[in-house]
Amino acid sequence: MNALKHSILSVSRTAGRLTCGGRMLPGFLIVGAQRCGTTSLYRALAQHPLLTKSVLHKGVHFFDVGYERGLDWYRGHFPLKVGASLLKRRYGTAPLAFESSPYYLFHPLAPERIARDLPGVKLIVLVRDPVERAFSAHSHELARGFETESHFEYAVELEARRLAGAEESLRSQPYSVHHSHRHHAYLARGRYAEQLDRLEPLFGRDRILVVDSHRFFAEPERVYDRVLEFLGVPHLQDPVFERHNGRARPKPMPISVRQTLTDHFEVYDTQLVPWLGGDPSWRR
């Protein structure tokens, strides 16, 4: 089955490269944050007839770890323009292609690359309780084999050492991959305001929508409509909302660790208030 899947992917990528000139580029991206409900929002939006997802992949990961492949390779992952023309004729509104790669928000070079190659693109960022996000990310990376430290609190203690010099390394070697920066940034990825402040000069606030994922799961219809309004597409049907990529926790987080991390994130959560238009839901 893996060999068959690999063969199908190879054929699809070849076809995409050969027809890249006639393919769309994204009108918006879900850029993160990791373990914040990006897959659930992606699948809800993919049910909209005017929102056309990348072929075969939820996330293409071009602007972070695949940039050396070139823009034609990236374009080859998206639907044909002729299909977009038919959709526009049918619904009276131009469709938007999109993908979801949660590392884009955190990668130091991805925002600059996106701004340069996709002028006018809109960005969607999901955020959640950063303490829960960190704990979830550790379980996720452990299950995938990218983390070797089974104790969450020890993995957090190792983070600063693991990430030391990572951004400088990625900037000096633009096509390189830093394992710990991608897989072990449990606290750093939860400092959302730092990452959003890096986006603002490149895109402006009017092209960035920040979604509190707790509110998305509590009131998916309302948040979905807000996203459609941000994208400028009409509400044509009611999607099925489901949670995706949830992962069982082997054991609860120690209370002392939770309190320490809550204190750590307090200042960063305060900085997030202007982006959300109020306090994050997890502070109430």
C-alpha 93/C-alpha 50 separation (Å) is 8
Contact 187/263 with Cβ under 8 angstroms?
Answer: no
Q: Any bridge partners for residue 21, and if so which?
A: none
Q: What is the pLDDT along the chain (284 residues), one digit of tens a residue?
A: 455 444 444 444 554 555 677 999 999 999 999 999 999 999 999 999 999 999 877 899 999 999 999 999 999 999 999 999 999 999 999 999 999 999 999 999 999 999 999 999 999 999 999 999 999 999 999 999 999 999 999 999 999 999 999 999 999 999 999 999 999 999 999 999 999 999 999 999 999 999 999 999 999 999 999 999 999 999 999 999 987 666 666 678 999 999 999 999 999 999 999 999 999 999 97
Specify the pLDDT at position 252.
87
Instruction: Report the run of H or E that residue 53 belongs to, with start and end.
Output: strand 51-53
pTM above 0.85, yes or no: yes
| Cβ pair 20, 75 in contact under 8 A | yes
Domain residue ranges in the chain: 2-236+256-283
Average pLDDT of the chain, as a whole number? 92
Please report the pLDDT score of residue 170 as a whole number.
Answer: 98
Listed in sequence order, the DSSP H helices in 46-147 are: 62-65, 71-75, 81-91, 110-117, 130-144
pLDDT in tens, 30-79: 999 999 999 999 999 999 999 999 987 789 999 999 999 999 999 999 99
pLDDT tens for 132-154 read 999 999 999 999 999 999 999 99
Length of the chain in terms of residues written: 284
Q: What is the CATH number of domain 2-236+256-283?
A: 3.40.50.300
- At residue 11, the pLDDT reads 42
HEC readout, the chain: CHHHHHHHHHHHHHHHHHCHHHECCEEEEEEECCCCCHHHHHHHHCCCCCEEECCCCCCCCHHHHCHHHCHHHHHCCCCEHHHHHHHHHHHCCCCEEEEECCCCCCCCCHHHHHHHHCCCCEEEEEECCHHHHHHHHHHHHHHHCCCCCCCHHHHHHHHHHHHCCHHHHHHHCCCCCCHHHHHCCCCHHHCHHHHHHHHHHHHCHHHEEEEEHHHHHHCHHHHHHHHHHHHCCCCCCCCCCCCCCCCCCCCCCCHHHHHHHHHHHHHHHHHHHHHHCCCCHHHC
